[in-house]
Structure 1
């Protein structure tokens, strides 16, 4: 999402969100509100909870952010790994961001945009 669009868009209510990507756009808009310290580990935990809730409630939505899921499968070669890191995507993005001297949450959203651009199934309903 373009920064100008984010700057003028008002936050949405939970009831207005359709899927995990809508939720992530809210996190992008105000990361400090959703994720303690803008930590990718906390974001990963939040997405794990989202995944558990989907399973508990029998929701049909597939979550791309689980270990071994589409996002991780796409990410490893993008970050230069030959195989999946056992530490998970959040740790590896944080390491990559530190090496670039960038905020990890900023790099995550940049990578998320790349992932979504190359995976039409992740564009939501």
Structure 2
């Protein structure tokens, strides 16, 4: 599921991605290529590398997945909790039966993007 009004995605090379959400869409399309075993811990590591690369190359792009940033704050509001757990731990402990933490992340990501105004990358 994608945010309402967004076009269906197609597989492309990571160098063609325009921002973190475009990159996450590529991971959604081929999770086995990016995340061994579909692990949210691996996804967090990939996103940490993405954020560090932004800083190293002085790229100014909105990034909601750093600890204590927008996605975690939104998630705490969504779950009605105040916690020191990471977004990975919060999602893993609340994933409903019949789903996987990775599927739950992408469902929540779609909701987050619908609920939160997104700043365009400069």
TM over 0.5: yes
* Cα deviation 1:13-45 (Å, max 9, x = unaligned): 122100000010011111111111111111011
**TM-score normalised per structure 2:** 0.86
How far apart, in 2, do the equivalents of 1:91 and 1:49 lie? Answer: 19
Higher helix share: 1
Note if contact 1:116-1:122 (Cα within 8 Å) is conserved in structure 2: no
How far apart, in 2, do the equivalents of 1:54 and 1:80 lie? Answer: 31
The gaps in structure 2 that reach 5 residues or longer are none
1:91 offset after TM fit, Å?
1.2
1:72 to 1:64, Cα distance in 2 relative to 1, 3 A? same
> Could you say which structure has the greater relative contact order, defined with CA pairs below 8 angstroms and 6 or more residues apart?
2
How far apart, in 2, do the equivalents of 1:109 and 1:47 lie? Answer: 14
Runs of 4+ aligned residues of structure 1 deviating over 4 Å after TM superposition are 122-125
* Cα deviation 1:35-74 (Å, max 9, x = unaligned): 1111111101110111111111100112100111111110
Note if contact 2:61-2:121 (Cα within 8 Å) is conserved in structure 1: no
Say whether 1:110 aligns with 2:107.
yes
The size of the alignment, in residue pairs, is 116
Q: Provide the secondary structure at the position in 2 that maps to 1:120.
A: coil
**TM-score normalised per structure 1:** 0.84
The alignment's C-alpha RMSD in Å is 1.8
